[in-house]
Amino acid sequence: MTGKTHLAAGALAGFALIRPQGGLNADTAAQLILCMAAASVGALIPDVDSKRSKARAKLFTAAAIVVSAFIIAFGAKIFFGVDVFALAMQNSAVVRTVPGAAMFAAAAIYGANTKHRTFTHSLLGLAVFTVSAALISLKAAPYFFAAMLSHILLDLLNRKKVALLYPSKRAFALDLCDSDGIVNDIVFSFGMVGCILYLAKVII
Ligand SMILES: [Zn+2]
C-alpha cells in the first residue's frame, strides 16, 4: 500500500481507540492531536526499510506531520488551553523517555538496513517499536501500535510477502492485490471518509 493509504488507515485505527465523551472538549482535542501524531509515525515507520529514496520521502512526511502536530499543540495550548504535552507526558518520566527515544532510533536504523518487509513488518518489530513508543509516551503508544499494526495487516493483502515471524525467513502474503492498484485506492478512500466522518461526529 502507498504512504497516504497507510496514513489514512492508521489514523482511523488510532481514532477507533478514542471514545469521546460529550463532544469536543479540551481533553478530547488533546487526545485527537496526540493520536494523529503518534498514528502517523506508526503508519509510516515500517516502510523505513523500503528503497532509500522512498523511505526518505516517507520519513520526511512523518517528520513533517510530527512538526505540524507540535505547532498545532502549541497553538492549542496558547489559544484554547488544550494541553497535548501534558497528556503525552502523563505517567511518563525523562528516565524512560530518553532510553525509549534511543531504542526507537536504534530500531529505525536497524530496520532501514534490513530487507523490505522483514523486521519492521514483523511481530518482533511491532513489539520493539511499541515498547520504545511506550517508554517515550505511555499515552501515545496505543495509537502508535494500532497504526503500525494496520500497516502490517494491509501489506499482508499484497503479492509481496511479509516476513511476519522475523527473524524466521517464513513470509506470508494473501496475494489479493497490488500495493498501488485499485484496492489501495479503495482502502485510502475508506480510510479518509472514515476519518472525516469520525471527526465530524466528534466536533458536531
Ligand atoms: Zn510496508
148 band by pLDDT with thresholds 50, 70 and 90? very high
CA of 27 to the centre of ligand 1 (A): 32
Per DSSP, the three-state class of 162 is: strand
pLDDT band at 100 (very low <50, low <70, confident <90, very high): very high
Counted domains in the chain: 1
Q: Predicted confidence band at 174 (pLDDT cuts at 50, 70, 90)?
A: confident
Rounded alpha-carbon distances, angstroms, from residue 100 to 6, 23, 83, 169: 24, 33, 22, 28
C-alpha to C-alpha distance for 190 and 166, rounded to whole angstroms: 30
Of the two residues 57 and 72, the one the predictor is more confident about is: 72
Range list of H helices, 76-181: 84-88, 94-112, 123-136, 141-156
Cell numbers placing 77: 495550548
Question: Does pLDDT of 56 surpass 80?
Answer: no
Owning domain of residue 119: 3-203
166 CA distance to ligand 1 centroid (A)? 14
pLDDT at residue 166 is higher than 80: yes
pLDDT at residue 63, as a whole number: 83
Share of the chain above pLDDT 90, in %: 52
Task: Give the pLDDT band (50/70/90) at residue 66.
Answer: confident
Average pLDDT score over residue span 97-119: 93
On the question of pLDDT at 192 being above 80, the answer is yes
Distance 63 CA to ligand 1 centre (A): 17
Share of the chain above pLDDT 70, in %: 100
Average pLDDT over the chain reads 89
Confidence of residue 8 (pLDDT cuts 50, 70, 90): very high
Predicted local distance difference test score (pLDDT) of residue 158: 87
Q: How far is the CA of 117 from the centre of ligand 1 (A)?
A: 6
Which residue has cell 522475523?
Answer: 166
Question: What is the C-alpha to C-alpha distance for residues 163 and 166, in angstroms, rounded to an integer?
Answer: 5
Which is higher by pLDDT, 52 or 150? 150
Q: What are phi and psi of 17, to 5 degrees?
A: -85, -10
Average pLDDT over residues 157-171: 90
How far away, in angstroms, is 53 Cα from ligand 1 center? 14
The more confident residue out of 174 and 129 is: 129
CA of 152 to the centre of ligand 1 (A): 6
E-strand stretches of the chain? none
Does the pTM exceed 0.85? yes
Cα-to-centroid distance, 48 and ligand 1 (Å): 8
User: Residue 23: which pLDDT band, with cuts at 50, 70 and 90?
Assistant: confident
Ligand 1 centre and the CA of 186: distance in Å?
17
Give the residue among 20, 71, 14, 18 at the shortest CA–CA distance from 40.
14
